[in-house]
A and B are shown apart, each in its own frame.
Chain A
Amino acid sequence: MDYYGYRGFIARILSSLGLEPGDYVRIIKSNGLVIEGILLPRYSLVDEPILVVKLKNGYNIGIRVDESDVLEKIGRVERGSPGAPVPLAESIEVGDKHVFILGCGGTVASRIDYETGAVKPYISPEELTLSIPELLKYASIDAEQLFSILSEDMKPWMWSKIIDETAKIISRGYDGIVITHGTDTMSYTSAALSFAFHRGLPVPVAMTGSQRSSDRPSSDASFNLVAATLVASNAPFAEVTVVMHGESSDTYALAHRGVRIRKMHTSRRDAFHSINARPLARVWPYDNRIEILDWNFRKRGDYSLAVDNGFDEKVAYIKHYPGPIAEIIDILVDKGFHGIVIEGTGFGHVSSDAIESIRRAVESGVPVVVASQTLFGRVNLNVYSTGRKMLEAGVIPVEDMLPEVAYVKLSWVLARTRDLKDVRVMMQANIAGEMSLRHDLNLYPRWVYE
């Protein structure tokens, strides 16, 4: 029996007393010690007869109870209704643009229940703008929560749903769309949107998220959201971008092209970097300023809305490593996968014993796309004989495209054609800014050692 995370005899006692989280409980230990507090649910996965209680001074503690201890219910926490949040700004002049915020995971604003520790999200436009009134400086806000899922649970069919929803919103005439998303898989979704809207995006789509949860005063969620709203409402470019902190300080954000972005740190605010490309712009959310860094963009209003939605869900994405890679490729082909993306070593190589497996894959109609696990730089299969053999076996090298982007792109391409020749042409064409043929010397990070 599981009773709010409690098991065994504690669960029995609690349920027989009708004690629920939020109730005041008195614990009388057999040694005479008396402790009173609010009963909390037990989240620990360790199965121990320990009761979690919030004391009057606000601290939680865990108290071991055994069957000789006495538990009593002494009341219930009186709780008023949540009520409207206090506005964080005294008054604000609302911008004349209209932006739609589409929630697809990640919480941008929330309230804390100090009694139970639960964090509940603010979702409605009213709650959002009362919590983050700076949004209104740039635009009036509409908002809707599409999903509320963990980043790691994102799947290609959800990309399709986001794309459909985004298209619908754009057709209603907004000046820009902000999509909130968990950070771990944001770059996959941003790439998916980039390919789906490559023929026609009239307004900016700015994706954003947070590296520090929104329940804490230091959260980056609102900074990023305001920066994304500034991009959606005022940027001159109509592209799918990821807008996140540009440095550890709360100074500027960077708007990265959705097919060039990668999360490069587990926890830092400035975890997102453009790889093999410059960000589109630097964005100062407090100062209403957008500084363009890459002028080669698609302008707002140049295209009318056109959507190419749909992704093949049977695409494999594997990393080459010094192990039985040939076997893995064989299994994927036998399992009927429609395409394989391999993150090769260095220039894009796989071990020579895997080449026959690749040849078999291609011969059975499964395209094998090659990107590099170094992330920086360009795949080149002409330098060494292994590479030349891979080319001869039929792999599709994709220049400086990020491997994750190659995966999303292959999923998208395979939903349009299964013809190997067509797949090769599309994979090697620059469709949404996902590749470039020229890297200057500064397009590479340097670390500071002193």
Chain B
Amino acid sequence: MSKIDYKAIGLKVGLEIHQQIESSHKLFCNCPPDLIEEEHVVLVRRLRPTRSEVGDVDPAALFEWRRGRYYEYESPLNTSCLVEADEEPPHPLNREALVVALAVARSLGSYIPDEIYVMRKIVIDGSNTSGFQRTALVAIGGAIEVNGKIIPIETICLEEDAARKIGEEGLKVKYRLDRLGIPLIELATAPVIESPEEAREVALAIGRLLRLTGRVKRGLGTIRQDLNISIAGGAKTEIKGVQRLELIPKVVHYEVLRQLRLIELRRELLKRDLSKDSITYNPVDLTSKLARSSSKILRRAVESGGVILGIKIPKMKGLLGFELMPGRRFGTELADYARFWAGVSGIIHSDELPGYGITGEEVNVVYETLNADPSIDAFIIVADIREKALKALSTIVDRIRVAFDGVPEETRAANEDGTTRYMRPRPGAARMYPETDIPPVKVTDELISEADKIKPEPLNVKLERLISKYGLSRELALEVLMDIRLDLIESLIEKYHERVQPSIIASIFVVTLRGLRGKGLDIEIITDKHLEEIVSYIAEGLIAKEASELILEEIAKNPQLTVREAIEKLGLRAVSEAEAEAVIDEIIREYIEEVKKRGLKATSLIIGKAMGKLRGKIDGRRVAEIAREKIEKIIGEHKT
């Protein structure tokens, strides 16, 4: 990452963390909150924009509606019911989930109102069958301390997760209903974070706090981070759906870069003596000129009844290719806008030509037809049915004009590499009204005392307990506190500490698992169940503690294996003392000459050979002890 003085440019980041809660059922119905591949029925629905008191509608919603967007829902029969299908009113708010949210609020010192109201927040991208997300404010205020800095919490909400998007074909968007209704806790910080790394650390600290309730889901997709990012002279950008913690610093950095570059682009536009008025919507039909082009994109569009439209962008040569983030140019932004607002598959701009099968000759023809100067002007081509192509070009003109103001307020989606793409305009005031099907929940003393039972204890208290009660070294205990599976480590130590040394359990996580990640293995797919089984096998003496690494490596490579299968595949069944002695006896017999010649100095050789056959099947220290005893005995006999 290039060096940017984030403080100097006024970087302000706020986090919104969405964490799935572990519960016996969903937030507003009795379906299990699980994602399972299973048989489903299919529903087809449309969502009509709703109106507010002042007669207005959400422009993005109106646009989707006019286009004829419709939604196809897969309703798995065991994990979704009439409630998710919007065919039955919601059941009362899941009390278990509410207790988890209250516990988090209590540990952050937030204010909890006396009555909690479930609201309907209008969301009409189809991800909620009802057209709104049900959400309730559970607490306001509070704070978390991260590296000595107080990070204020703004709100804690309890809400339903959205349906899983599984695809898009033309006007149809496909969703699956299993995820819809899984309880989520949403926690928003104040925008006080001042560096990309701090954003990651705050997210980590909040994630850890949530996991410490022991009542949240873990694993990819169970926690999602949204980021609000702004810099001085830029604009507030909302970035949705960052699933991996490690990506956060990159996302923040790239967004800062993008805003800085947009500000730079603005300067460049002004320097070229351009103004909003210079960018005019003047589409020209290029179909006849380019119909015989060797470009597949153009030909296909024309063959399926489309047209090729072009527009001149005066004095902007080079600026459409102006890089905003690695691999993403101003032209890419324009294309994303055109895709969203006009539903075209893409655009072609002059800074990437010749290319896409369009020859230099054809580029000149376009310049000529558009009455443009190839040395200073730029142009954009869209090939699609006329209506869509016109809409795309007018959208593009509007977006270029906005570049004269600098950075627009947008909602963006995170890409896998940490860059982001335009998603939709930032929504205005939340369109929210009460969910009249659910009575308000009175926050009783019983609810609060239930919450206090699972309220996470402060980290320093936990640290001391790990050291004094379970005998972990301070270093190891600190590592455990930082580990993403802290809650699991704790519960395993508590359950097994009489039969397996707590430091051994801790090491499986902070040494073995991290080592495997270092080797490039995906340790995310190793489940809590896998890990607990390994510890229980060690406790029962069925495997040696050394076996855990081999087993975990095998499972990371073949996640469909159970622990038992991995043990069998690796031949790691623990051997008895007698079996181990027999193996060592045989090795000593093989190397008897060495032993006789070098005496005790041969011990390490014998241990090494023995470990080759016994690794993971019996405690290594025991192998060494047996080998030493046997060699001493032989030497003794030899001497006499």
The reply to whether B113 and A79 contact each other, CB–CB distance below 8 Å, is no
Q: Which residues 49-98 of A have a CB within 8 angstroms of B?
A: 50, 52, 55, 57-64, 79-86, 88-90
The reply to whether A57 and B86 contact each other, CB–CB distance below 8 Å, is no
Stretch at the interface among A111-119, A192-200, A350-358, A422-430: A111-119
Question: B281 in the interface, Cβ–Cβ < 8 Å?
Answer: no
The reply to whether A217 and B48 contact each other, CB–CB distance below 8 Å, is yes
Distance in angstroms between the alpha carbons of A57 and B132 in the assembled complex: 16
Q: Which residues of B contact A161 (CB under 8 A)?
A: none
The reply to whether B117 and A61 contact each other, CB–CB distance below 8 Å, is yes
Question: A131 in the interface, Cβ–Cβ < 8 Å?
Answer: yes
Question: A222 in the interface, Cβ–Cβ < 8 Å?
Answer: yes
Q: Which residues of B contact A55 (CB under 8 A)?
A: 137, 140
- Which residue from A63, A114, A269 sits with its C-beta under 8 Å from B53? A114
Please, what's the 1-or-0 string for A324-353, where 1 marks a CB less than 8 Å from any CB in chain B? 000000000000000000000000000000
The reply to whether A218 and B130 contact each other, CB–CB distance below 8 Å, is yes
The reply to whether B430 and A58 contact each other, CB–CB distance below 8 Å, is yes
Stretch at the interface among A136-144, A247-255, A272-280, A315-323: A247-255
Q: A88-B62, A89-B66 are in contact. Are A111 and B53 (CB under 8 A)?
A: yes
Which of chain B's residues has its CB closest to A84's CB?
A: B55
Majority DSSP secondary structure for residues of A touching B: loop
- Which residue from B47, B87, B157 sits with its C-beta under 8 Å from A268? B87
The reply to whether B52 and A113 contact each other, CB–CB distance below 8 Å, is yes
Q: Which residues 126-155 of B have a CB within 8 angstroms of A?
A: 129-132, 135-137, 140, 155
Question: B322 in the interface, Cβ–Cβ < 8 Å?
Answer: no
The reply to whether A217 and B53 contact each other, CB–CB distance below 8 Å, is no
Question: B111 in the interface, Cβ–Cβ < 8 Å?
Answer: yes
Distance in angstroms between the alpha carbons of A57 and B135 in the assembled complex: 12
Distance in angstroms between the alpha carbons of A248 and B70 in the assembled complex: 14
Distance in angstroms between the alpha carbons of A33 and B114 in the assembled complex: 14
A/B pair count, beta carbons within 8 Å: 154
Q: Which residues of B contact A439 (CB under 8 A)?
A: none
The reply to whether B114 and A64 contact each other, CB–CB distance below 8 Å, is yes
The reply to whether A217 and B113 contact each other, CB–CB distance below 8 Å, is no
Stretch at the interface among B292-300, B431-439, B554-562, B608-616: B431-439
Which of chain B's residues has its CB closest to A271's CB?
A: B87
> For A57, A112, A216, A217, which residue has the most chain B Cβ atoms within 10 angstroms?
A217
Q: Which residues of B contact A52 (CB under 8 A)?
A: 115, 117
Question: B49 in the interface, Cβ–Cβ < 8 Å?
Answer: yes
The reply to whether A218 and B439 contact each other, CB–CB distance below 8 Å, is no
Q: Which residues of A contact B434 (CB under 8 A)?
A: 60, 117
Return B108 CB to nearest CB of chain A, in Å: 15
- Which residue from A33, A111, A212 sits with its C-beta under 8 Å from B111? A33
The reply to whether A88 and B113 contact each other, CB–CB distance below 8 Å, is no
Which of chain A's residues has its CB closest to B57's CB?
A: A86
Q: Which residues of B contact A131 (CB under 8 A)?
A: 51
Q: Which residues of B contact A84 (CB under 8 A)?
A: 55
Q: Which residues of B contact A216 (CB under 8 A)?
A: 50, 120, 130-132
Return B442 CB to nearest CB of chain A, in Å: 8
The reply to whether A111 and B122 contact each other, CB–CB distance below 8 Å, is no
The reply to whether B48 and A222 contact each other, CB–CB distance below 8 Å, is yes
Q: A59-B119, A59-B137, A249-B43 are in contact. Are A90 and B66 (CB under 8 A)?
A: yes
Q: Which residues of B contact A250 (CB under 8 A)?
A: 44-46, 70
Question: B417 in the interface, Cβ–Cβ < 8 Å?
Answer: no
Distance in angstroms between the alpha carbons of A223 and B46 in the assembled complex: 9
Q: Which residues 214-263 of A have a CB within 8 angstroms of B?
A: 215-219, 222-223, 248-251
- Which residue from B43, B57, B89, B440 sits with its C-beta under 8 Å from A88? B57
Question: A44 in the interface, Cβ–Cβ < 8 Å?
Answer: yes
Question: A16 in the interface, Cβ–Cβ < 8 Å?
Answer: no
- Which residue from A60, A62, A218, A268 sits with its C-beta under 8 Å from B119? A60
Q: Which residues of B contact A90 (CB under 8 A)?
A: 66
Which of chain A's residues has its CB closest to B121's CB?
A: A58
Question: B65 in the interface, Cβ–Cβ < 8 Å?
Answer: yes
Question: B531 in the interface, Cβ–Cβ < 8 Å?
Answer: no
The reply to whether A62 and B114 contact each other, CB–CB distance below 8 Å, is yes
Q: Which residues of A contact B87 (CB under 8 A)?
A: 248, 267-269
Q: A44-B440, A86-B55 are in contact. Are A61 and B131 (CB under 8 A)?
A: no
Return B154 CB to nearest CB of chain A, in Å: 8
Return A245 CB to nearest CB of chain B, in Å: 10
Distance in angstroms between the alpha carbons of A340 and B2 in the assembled complex: 88
Question: A120 in the interface, Cβ–Cβ < 8 Å?
Answer: yes
Q: Which residues of A contact B136 (CB under 8 A)?
A: 59
The reply to whether B111 and A44 contact each other, CB–CB distance below 8 Å, is no
The reply to whether B113 and A85 contact each other, CB–CB distance below 8 Å, is no
Q: Which residues 32-66 of B have a CB within 8 angstroms of A?
A: 42-57, 61-62, 65-66
Q: Could you write out 9 A-B pairs with CB less than 8 Å apart?
A: A50-B114, A55-B140, A59-B157, A62-B117, A83-B54, A88-B62, A110-B51, A131-B51, A218-B47
Pick the 4 closest A-B CB pairs, nearest first.
A217-B131, A62-B115, A58-B432, A59-B137
